[in-house]
Structure 1
Amino acid sequence: MKKKIHTNNYRIVVFKDMTSNDTFFCKSTILTKEKIHLNGKEFPLYKMEISSFSHPFYTGQIKYVDATGRIDKFYKKYKKKNKNKYIFNLIT
């Protein structure tokens, strides 16, 4: 491993999963603006949308997203204006 390329400013950071509101501690060099008080101490806080607490692979729960409704809405919106466009003729 090359020397003098890794940072030395590791510190304890609290990572918070915003989907499940679970938190965990980890050493990191990530820059944060927010802080959180846990166990009587103040730690830097990093908020994330998904982690192993909420990811379907780790939880075993499948969460379906209504992607078909958004796709249908897209086609309805743009088919009216661009009815003769080549790309829509290929798709439909």
Structure 2
Amino acid sequence: MKKGIHPDYKEITVVMSDGTEVQTRSTMDTKDGVYRSEVDSKNHPFYTKSNTFTSTAGRVDRFKRRYGKGDDK
């Protein structure tokens, strides 16, 4: 490998949303060596088959269509 062109590759701890911890190596710049994940396979709607985000987005679009909010006419 060429010297001076690659980012630092160091060990970090990834803390999942449910509290589980995984040791891995990364080029991610963390101040304390810990990355705290807000979304992972335990709570993401794609994995949990929950449509909370898509149904909320549908309600917002329906509101905008019904009341014409957000259109600059």
Q: Which runs of 5+ in 1 are unaligned?
A: 36-43, 86-92
Label 1:21 to 1:63 Cα distance change in 2 as closer, same or farther (>3 A).
Answer: farther
More strand by share: 1
- The equivalent position to 2:29 in structure 1, one of 18, 31, 41, is 31
Q: Which runs of 5+ in 2 are unaligned?
A: none
TM-score under structure 2 length normalisation:
0.58
Alignment RMSD (CA, Å): 3.0
Instruction: Find the counterpart in structure 2 of residue 16 from structure 1.
Output: 15
Largest Rg, 1 or 2? 1
- Partners of 2:39 and 2:59 lie apart in 1 by 27
- Partners of 1:29 and 1:73 lie apart in 2 by 38
- The equivalent position to 1:75 in structure 2, one of 44, 54, 62, is 62
Identical pairs, percent: 20
Instruction: Find the counterpart in structure 1 of residue 35 from structure 2.
Output: 46
Tell me the matched-pair count: 66
Q: CA deviation at 1:22?
A: 1.4
- Partners of 2:19 and 2:57 lie apart in 1 by 27
Instruction: Find the counterpart in structure 2 of residue 39 from structure 1.
Output: none
Structure 1 runs of 4+ off > 3 angstroms? none
